[in-house]
Chains A and B, each alone.
Chain A
């Protein structure tokens, strides 16, 4: 399988990365090189093989569903590029 420039632009939009036509063109070639490289997996017989879900045999740990942390909104928003009154500020999303 290979991708064309329109597919690259569509995928870039899905990934929320703005690309110029020039960049998309360059990435198309690079992505196709990688996709050609991973194509060798088609040789492998995976009939009846379970997909890997965990490399370590361990039951997923569970914890009590209780509040153990928090109560410091100033710390939570402390790194935000824009915040006000412990809210994250973003461009207007509702009219």
Chain B
């Protein structure tokens, strides 16, 4: 059975279509793998074996008739942030206790329409707020990767820690994830997996629990570039239910893999060389540059002068939007209710018991920066800085740059509690990824090597708006040169 879970998504798709394997046996192989691994990894917060077997059986019927969709019979894990009809959807928060939505998110509906099979819901930082998957109400996710010769548990990154860990440990063929400041790319980099945050507007946000609406985007985490391109095509759509969803046809991203990169101009931003980043990360970046150059791309030095202001601006904009979005959790319409003396007391008790420390911290910061007298000094200024951050990228692209190469994270996976005393130190994990959300651009994290402890490190490619295809083309060059990385199985 383990052999079946070693197939890539593309290989499984081809063998399913050729009727060499069945969707039911593939799904059962994954359900067994989850049963064996989840007590150690804690990637799934809800497994849906009955629904998975039903969906797989239906896929087998379709495949027998030769009517399979693009993902027919492919078992996937779904981040707990996506509404799935009748199934656990709690953003891994206590305040959504018992919530089972009577509707389906557009992204997951697209996946099921293309024939995918749901294995269950994946662990994450509460309301997608975190970079280590330590804020989940359902406990930490454990990274399938460990330092060479060590048994110490490491974090998988966050907020899509369950998605990244499940993919890295072969507990699904691919996983949905979301990215507000780096929540797809940082965990992908820390687990040796491929993570794409598409352009803002490419995937519908309808039915995705909102964190910071102007930054949130859904995307896939997979084991290979090709798998990622296949899944991306099914997740993306134009959706009348989301006014920020764009009316653009979804390209065949898989076709972009293997295209020539000859003559593509790759920008290397000077501002991404920051103090305190280990030499290995810089060395990896230099290797990435050499790989792209060897494949025929042209390397150019660029400047993105407002880079250092992206993270502080993010920590005004994102909490402000979160404080507004999370106002709906009041103990009236869904989830937890803690009684009080009157209705206001009930609200306050419910939110005190239902939200974790990081969520409270961000709601308070957001409420403060939006409060009377502070709006101009904080929120308005941050939104102006955001305009400048986007302008930096616009100017680089206008000058002919096709994509930008940077490290994905400042370092490899770390131990739980490493940043527990200082929220700002934890926030610095997103220093290379957060600019991309602020400017709404597509960003791809690709595994590119291992550090001296044997832990994966990733590179990030940033593209022009809606040019995910070029990122897949370039990412594939890195994947071919670097090879693929899998954790040694200890669970």
Chain A: residues with CB nearer than 8 A to chain B? 1, 3, 7-8, 11-19, 27, 30-31, 33-35, 37-42, 44, 46, 49-56, 58, 60-61, 63, 72, 75-82, 88, 90-93
Point out the residues of chain B lying under 8 angstroms from A13, CB to CB. 348
Interface hit among B16-24, B271-279, B305-313, B402-410: B305-313
Point out the residues of chain B lying under 8 angstroms from A61, CB to CB. 240, 243, 245, 247
In the complex, besides A56-B199, A82-B337, 11 extra interface pairs with C-beta distance below 8 angstroms are A13-B348, A15-B351, A18-B348, A37-B424, A38-B315, A41-B309, A44-B384, A51-B383, A60-B243, A81-B335, A88-B333
Q: Are A91 and B309 in contact (CB under 8 A)?
A: no
Closest beta carbon of chain A to B445's beta carbon, Å: 20
Q: Are A15 and B388 in contact (CB under 8 A)?
A: no
Interface hit among B67-75, B355-363, B478-486: B355-363
The 7 closest A-B pairs by CB, nearest first: A55-B440, A51-B383, A81-B337, A79-B334, A18-B348, A18-B352, A46-B384
Chain A binding surface SS class: loop
Q: Are A15 and B364 in contact (CB under 8 A)?
A: yes
Q: Are A16 and B330 in contact (CB under 8 A)?
A: yes
Point out the residues of chain A lying under 8 angstroms from B15, CB to CB. none
Chain B: residues with CB nearer than 8 A to chain A? 98-102, 199-201, 214, 240, 243-247, 306, 308-309, 312-313, 315-316, 323, 327, 330-337, 339-340, 342-349, 351-352, 355, 360-361, 363-365, 367-368, 371, 374, 377-378, 380-388, 390, 422-424, 427, 438-440, 465
Point out the residues of chain B lying under 8 angstroms from A63, CB to CB. 240
Contact among A39, A42, A52, A82 with B383 in the assembled complex (CB-CB below 8 Å):
A52
Closest to B348 in A: A18
Closest to B380 in A: A51
Roughly how many angstroms separate A2 CA and B334 CA in the complex, as a whole number?
A: 36
Roughly how many angstroms separate A82 CA and B330 CA in the complex, as a whole number?
A: 12
Contact among B243, B323, B331, B363 with A81 in the assembled complex (CB-CB below 8 Å):
B331
Point out the residues of chain A lying under 8 angstroms from B200, CB to CB. 55-56
Q: Are B244 and A33 in contact (CB under 8 A)?
A: no
Roughly how many angstroms separate A44 CA and B176 CA in the complex, as a whole number?
A: 37
Point out the residues of chain B lying under 8 angstroms from A82, CB to CB. 337
Q: Are A56 and B384 in contact (CB under 8 A)?
A: no
Closest beta carbon of chain A to B241's beta carbon, Å: 9
